[in-house]
Amino acid sequence: MIIWGVLLGLFVLILLVVLHELGHAIVAKRNGVKVEEFGIGFPPAAKKWKVKRSFLGENVTFSLNWLPLGGFVRLKGEYDSAKGEGTYGGSTFWVKTKILLAGVIMNWITAIVLFTILVVIGMPKILSNQVQLPFDTEVRRSPVAIAKVTPGSPADKAGLKVNDELIEINGQPLTEAEKLPVITKQNAGKKVRVEYRRDGKELAVDVQLNDEKSAKESGYLGVISGQTEKMYSTWSAPIMGVATTGQLSYETIKGVGVLLVKTVHGSIGQIFGSAESKESARADLASVSGSVAGPIGILGVLFPSVVNSGIEQIIFVAALISLTLAVMNILPIPALDGGRWFTMTIFRLFKKDLTKEREENIQATGMLILLILTILVTISDVGKLF
């Protein structure tokens, strides 16, 4: 499953990045900027071919490259200070803005399309306040299933297994996972009848629950239950796609802000302050480490975990990654689209020349910072794998 998960993850990541770069290329071509090369993956090149006429213009070089994580588009005169007909640098500020933000828009459109499909076939509900339209949204709950059985617990001794669907406990229907600890606590120390479903067959077993004292270690029944909620819409699916993309984009931006605050607090707190504040700082850094994933985390952990979870989960993860690409690229981070636009705008506001050398230095610094962060996240990801 790890191999299939990695292959699936590579396919999804390459597709989303190619769509992002395609946005830049199409808008550039439509605004008179020559597209010189469109590449899938990063150099060194495995194969190149020049096409006299294509949807991206004339004499465009298309390339397949050996490093699979990503893609790129190379425009004529890519620097802000470049001059001449058909160059990016020779275009107006508005045209440059459209080209830089086209990739972001493409990723948002992709997320909207994927969420629209999802809400028709069943969109996972991950937020308690996740947007829904009361006049055309139905929320359905899956059966309460066992996600984990504690070894030596009453459930383990009775033969209950992971993925068993709990139907009733002592005659009380179990339709919500929140009811399980309530019912088992009410019957602490008693023998109860547990009705469950396994592989489509309804079964029943008598289970001696733990008493109050024993429950402190493994709970009354000794299981961790799980339940998923999915939302369904019909004619309003496109509206839900747009609304969900907007809400989750906001949550992503808010999450990035929280991570930045925790990173700064954690880094400074490790150097200054009391022992108590240093402990709090370490907790913040640990929280950041657990919340961030790089290529290895996405390919080695995330996709292998959803490859058997159904097409809905795979589409949902792809939509979230597309949305995250859009959000990260619109932020003023040097070397990314938003950073390039921010740099260009600042120099124009202060009426300073953004020379090729200055732009290269700014983007190189941003790329170095991103590379260091990627290495740190990758080290954390490798730790998660083992």
Return the SS3 of 111: helix
pLDDT tens, position by position, for the chain (386 residues)? 677 777 888 888 899 999 999 999 999 999 999 999 999 998 899 999 999 999 999 999 999 999 887 889 999 999 998 999 999 999 999 999 999 999 999 999 999 999 999 999 999 888 888 999 989 999 998 899 998 999 999 999 999 999 899 999 988 999 888 899 999 999 999 999 999 999 989 999 999 999 888 888 778 999 989 888 899 999 999 999 999 999 999 988 887 776 666 565 555 565 555 566 656 655 654 554 454 544 555 555 566 667 677 788 889 989 999 998 999 899 888 788 999 999 999 999 999 989 989 998 988 888 887 777 666 655 554 555 55
Cα dihedral 156→161→165→171 (10° resolution): -20
Q: For the CA atoms of 54, 55, 59, 65, what is the dihedral angle to 10 degrees? A: -90
Q: Domain ranges in the chain?
A: 1-34+76-136+235-386, 143-227
107, 112, 116, 122: CA torsion to nearest 10: 70
Q: CA angle, 42 as apex, 46 and 322 as ends, to 5°? A: 130
Residue 21 CA: distances (Å) to CA of 75, 127, 196, 272, 321: 11, 31, 50, 44, 15
Determine the CATH number of domain 143-227. Answer: 2.30.42.10
Which pLDDT belongs to residue 334?
79
Residues 171 and 158: their CA atoms lie apart, in Å, by 18
201 vs 194: CA distance, rounded Å: 14
β-partners of residue 197 are 165, 202
User: What per-residue confidence (pLDDT) applies to 294?
Assistant: 47
| Helix and strand numbers, DSSP H then E, in the chain | 12, 11
Backbone φ and ψ for 243, nearest 5 degrees, come out as: -65, -40
Token pair of 152 as six digits: 């030596």
Tokens describing residue 14? 């390459």
φ/ψ (deg, to 5) at 270 = -70, -20
Please give the Cα distance from 30 to 52 (Å, whole number): 17
Closest CA to 370 of 97, 153, 70: 70
Q: Report yes or no on whether pTM surpasses 0.95.
A: no
Which two structure tokens, joined as six digits, stand for 232? 């369904």
